Amino acid sequence: SEKWIRPDRTVVTICPYCGVGCSLDLKISEDRILSVTPSRDGAVNRGQACVKGHFGLEEIIHHPDRFTTPLIKRNGQFEPASWDEALDLVARRFTEIQDRYGPDSLGAFSSSRCTNEENYLVQKLARAVFKTNNVDNCARVCHAPSVTGLAACFGSGAATNSFDQIEDADVLFIIGSNTTEAHPVVSLKIIKAARNGAKIIVADPRKIELVDRASVWLNQKPGTSIALINAMMNVILKEGLEDRDFIDRRTMGFENLQKTVEEYPPERASQITGVAAEDIIEAARLYASADKAMIIYGLGITEHTTGTSNVMSLGNLAMLTGNVGRRSTGIMPLRGQNNVQGACDMGALPNVHVGYQPVTDAGIRSKFEEAWKVALPSVPGQTSTQMIERNPGKEIRGLYILGEDPAHTEPDTNRVRSTLESLDFLVVQEIFPTETTRYADVILPAASFAECDGTFTNGERRIQRVRKAIPALCGQENWLTICQIAQRMGYPMSYGHPSEIMDEIASLAPMFAGVKFDRLDDGGLQWPIPSLDHPGTETLHAESFSCGLGRFNAVQHKYPAEQTDTEYPLILTTGRRREHYNCGSMTRRSKGIMWVWPEEAIEISPADARELEIEDGETVVVSSRRGSVKTKARVTDKSSRGMAFMSFHYQDVLTNLLTNAALDPQAKTPEYKACAVKIEKLKA
């Protein structure tokens, strides 16, 4: 077996699966990856990795399903083509659409799975070559509310502290994050904190593993976080547990917040959330009395129509108690994909250039126009969710998708399929066949993380080096492909190496001014890094907030967009499983991972199972107002009565046929976490 071949070199790089950013050692012999093990000296993981990092990579990189040559669809069938032929066609069709329907008929989905340098080039392609701000990345469907919500409170939309600081907190308030499944290496730091004596508060509608470690479990109904947090603040103010000095010195808008939370005594919040009033009081006292209390949250906060307001509520709670700007305090949004932070930082968003510089600011625009030597659009573009909605008069006709699978991961799949089918021209650049590649006119093969040089930015703002371990199986790295599309469309985009792309980023974004590839070798750097001698920033907002004074944003509870009724009596919430990653196109190709977690199942409570006369393991049909899927039932006390759970990793059970595309009005993020469903026995 290959396992016994002696490796000729080791390349240290970053795991491509989640936003924790674990360092991995790739052992290589003759351009073949022999093994993947966690790096002992990894800045974040220090020798640890989860099942995906350990077992879900080596077989994926060399998998026979990898795209290795461009494919052009002719008469409904994909046929191999040369790079020249495929790129010529891509450039010609995009130019024709641009000429005929205008620049805003084109759009680009960049990728939270790709490097910072690739993301920077995709947004440059959209802005400088397509001449539109219609560019987005899949943060839109996960953590966009973190960017809008935290920026509204603190002036900066990112994690305030570092993962290592979790271990020294006195209290950890974990809300809407199944950390042991979705961010396993961070959960090890939580467990270490608990062993060190930290008290854990878990707010989650499911009985997740961390409930076993918790002093209080706030078993809330999905979509009730604002009522819960407002009630905690109500208790804190009533009992005088707020930090008056911090409120006076560092914040504004307190009076308005105070008035709003007066409307949420624990008894009222209990009726909304389903959590006992005593538990809300206990959680409030625990959090507010700690010297160092940290909030950790995930998509249970953001993937709601109230996502931005949910995030702002957490900002309110942290500021009310002075728990921000110090070590082991603050707010840690756990970013899902490996480079979701970086994709946003690089300006793969419709309203900002790299480093969150608004496209509407004339001074900033002229800086980019001078650097890129081209006139740039000034009106913010459409989000990915809006591009999929096909707003009348703003229809996208030509779309370039790099490393995303919206036909699998966007909500209400039938709607996404019909949009993709109706496009004049779709280019998808991918490593494996996915639901979305079916709809492509041209498939461009992509290089995997092991075949690229560049950087990823993890969930604590740490920019880390991704190192090319083997040559790209498809013949060229992704940054080069993006440059070649631009060149064929008449724009001179050209670099010798990704480090030159980072040099350009550093020259244009003050928060990255001190970044150079050779400064990242020893564990990376956490932004902001404003100069070449700056050591990076472990804790944000120490002396003042990015916006000066921190801003309280009083928000009111609002129920999820879709409610249960007699026809659809259960609330379905969706999420990840530890073994799998997003659309599953990678992890479902790992035999080891599929052996551990081979198939989807809907989790329901024993009480609901009894009522519906459904046995554990029985095949059932799950339907919402948008579609149906067939899957197995798993009866478990993780689910409370009236609530069901599914992941979205499997192509044969497309959970997003069921989910609701209703959007958070600010961040335009869909409400994956709550939709109404019914479960029926399979008819014979």
List residues binding ligand SF4 (CB under 6 A): 15, 17-18, 20-22, 45, 49-50, 52-53, 183-185
> Minimum distance from CB of 181 to ligand SF4 (Å)?
10
In the block, residue with structure tokens 């993006």: 482
Which H helix or E strand runs over 193?
Answer: helix 184-195
The 10 Å Cβ neighbour count of residue 502 is 23
Q: How far is CA 452 from CA 466, 480, 534, in A?
A: 7, 11, 27
Q: Which two tokens stand for residue 264?
A: 């949420």
Coil vs helix vs strand at 195: helix
Q: In this complex, which beta carbon is closest to ligand SF4, that of residue 185 or of residue 473?
A: 185
Pairing of strands 9-14, 23-29: antiparallel
> Minimum distance from CB of 368 to ligand SF4 (Å)?
32
Closest to 356 (Cα-Cα) out of 108, 119, 151, 663: 151
Cα angle: 216, vertex 186, 281; to 5 degrees: 20
Q: In this complex, which beta carbon is closest to ligand SF4, that of residue 52 or of residue 408?
A: 52
> Minimum distance from CB of 184 to ligand SF4 (Å)?
5
Closest to 330 (Cα-Cα) out of 188, 202, 203, 171: 171
Residues pairing with 106 in the sheet: 398
φ, ψ of residue 427 in degrees (nearest 5): -115, 125
> Minimum distance from CB of 560 to ligand SF4 (Å)?
29
Q: In this complex, which beta carbon is closest to ligand SF4, that of residue 436 or of residue 464?
A: 464
The per-residue DSSP string of 203-241 comes to E-SS--GGGGG-SEEE-PPTT-HHHHHHHHHHHHHHTT-
Closest to 575 (Cα-Cα) out of 305, 181, 184, 307: 181
Q: In this complex, which beta carbon is closest to ligand SF4, that of residue 183 or of residue 206?
A: 183
- Judged by phi (left if over 0) then psi (alpha if -120 to 50, else beta), residue 406 lies in alpha
Q: In this complex, which beta carbon is closest to ligand SF4, that of residue 184 or of residue 560?
A: 184
Taking only Cα atoms into account, the Rg of the chain, rounded to an integer number of angstroms, comes to: 24
> Minimum distance from CB of 559 to ligand SF4 (Å)?
33
Residues 161, 539 contacting (CB under 8 angstroms): yes
Q: d(Cα 304, Cα 666) in Å, to the nearest integer?
A: 11
E-assigned strand segments in 145-300: 171-175, 199-203, 216-218, 251-252, 293-297
Q: In this complex, which beta carbon is closest to ligand SF4, that of residue 17 or of residue 130?
A: 17
Q: In this complex, which beta carbon is closest to ligand SF4, that of residue 136 or of residue 460?
A: 460
> Minimum distance from CB of 146 to ligand SF4 (Å)?
18
Q: In this complex, which beta carbon is closest to ligand SF4, that of residue 22 or of residue 679?
A: 22
Q: In this complex, which beta carbon is closest to ligand SF4, that of residue 107 or of residue 184?
A: 184
Q: Which two tokens stand for residue 222?
A: 């999905």
> Minimum distance from CB of 106 to ligand SF4 (Å)?
33
Closest to 50 (Cα-Cα) out of 464, 580, 588, 638: 580
In the block, residue with structure tokens 């000066």: 548
Q: In this complex, which beta carbon is closest to ligand SF4, that of residue 174 or of residue 511?
A: 174
> Minimum distance from CB of 208 to ligand SF4 (Å)?
16
Q: d(Cα 559, Cα 272) in Å, to the nearest integer?
A: 9
> Minimum distance from CB of 617 to ligand SF4 (Å)?
28
Q: In this complex, which beta carbon is closest to ligand SF4, that of residue 242 or of residue 579?
A: 579
Q: Which two tokens stand for residue 220?
A: 């809330």
Write b or e for each residue in 337-367: b if 16 or more Cβ atoms lie within 10 A of its Cβ, otherwise e. bbbbbbbbbbbbbbebbbbbbebeeeebbee
Coil vs helix vs strand at 645: strand
Cβ contacts of 238 within 8 Å, gap of 6 or more: none
> Minimum distance from CB of 328 to ligand SF4 (Å)?
21
Q: Which two tokens stand for residue 483?
A: 């440059």
What's the full length of the chain, in residues?
684
> Minimum distance from CB of 49 to ligand SF4 (Å)?
4
Q: Which two tokens stand for residue 207?
A: 């009985």
Q: In this complex, which beta carbon is closest to ligand SF4, that of residue 49 or of residue 466?
A: 49
Which H helix or E strand runs over 364?
Answer: helix 362-372
Q: In this complex, which beta carbon is closest to ligand SF4, that of residue 183 or of residue 626?
A: 183
> Minimum distance from CB of 42 to ligand SF4 (Å)?
9
> Minimum distance from CB of 498 to ligand SF4 (Å)?
21
Q: d(Cα 676, Cα 377) in Å, to the nearest integer?
A: 41
Q: In this complex, which beta carbon is closest to ligand SF4, that of residue 385 or of residue 464?
A: 464
Chain residue at closest Cβ approach to ligand SF4:
53
> Minimum distance from CB of 142 to ligand SF4 (Å)?
15
Q: d(Cα 239, Cα 444) in Å, to the nearest integer?
A: 61
Q: In this complex, which beta carbon is closest to ligand SF4, that of residue 21 or of residue 347?
A: 21
Coil vs helix vs strand at 374: coil
> Minimum distance from CB of 63 to ligand SF4 (Å)?
18
Cβ contacts of 119 within 8 Å, gap of 6 or more: 110, 111, 137, 339, 342, 343, 346, 347, 348
Q: In this complex, which beta carbon is closest to ligand SF4, that of residue 151 or of residue 186?
A: 186
Residues 25, 36 contacting (CB under 8 angstroms): yes
